[in-house]
Amino acid sequence: MFKYVKSLEYPINIKKKDLKMAKYIISQYGGPQGELAAALRYLNQRFTMPDNKGKALLTDIGMEELSHVEMICTILYQLTKGATLKEMKEAGLDKYYTEHGLDLFPENTNGVPFTSAYFAAVGDPVANISEDMAAEQKARAVYENLINLAEDPDVINPLLFLRQREIVHFARFKALYKEYKEKGYK
């Protein structure tokens, strides 16, 4: 069903360690507006879409969101690669280090672990698609906040790419939402 291509959707080559930025970006891995929540939301909702068009759209976007998880993990790894315990402490990542060392773990900026409570699936395709549009807008806003916090172009450029994908996903969900409303789906 899926073909794995061993390259990122957008190239990432961060040369400078930045643990504070990593602390912010981790939210896009395991936070409520993050890529993991989006991927699971869409891949679960696809099963109850009323037609193949909706199922295909949610599958396509859900799989792309998984590739975004891979991108975020790559960014996090490159931002923290070679970090010392002293650097982790100075960046406020000592609690993270306590539980995870230098491994990647989905949580938000405040250290709250990922939970499936971050996404909804209510069995109503119009409500689900509406929720998906809101999720894309919230993710876009978080990417804009991260871009504002970042200083390194090697970090900013992939974030700009991911922000743009949120805009594209929103537009695709909006078109499906409109179509489903016109068809009278609930």
Closest CA to 38 of 149, 185, 142, 157: 142
Closest CA to 62 of 43, 79, 89: 43
**What is the SS3 assignment for 91?**
coil
Alpha-carbon distance of 58 to 132, in angstroms, equals 10
For residues 172, 173, 176, 182, the Cα torsion angle rounded to the nearest 10 degrees is: -130
Give domain 19-183's CATH superfamily.
Answer: Ferritin, core subunit, four-helix bundle (1.20.1260.10)
The series of mean pLDDT values per 10 residues for the chain, 186 residues long, is 81 97 97 97 96 97 97 98 96 93 94 92 94 97 98 98 98 98 90
Closest CA to 28 of 63, 62, 72: 72
Amino acid at site 172: R
Give CA separation, 99 vs 95, 113, 164, in Å. 7, 11, 33
pLDDT attached to residue 2: 65
Query: What confidence tens digit (pLDDT) does each residue in 27-56 have?
Result: 999 999 999 999 999 999 999 999 999 999
**What is the SS3 assignment for 136?**
helix
pLDDT attached to residue 1: 58
Provide the token pair at 46: 């696809």
Give CA separation, 80 vs 26, 43, 131, in Å. 11, 30, 33
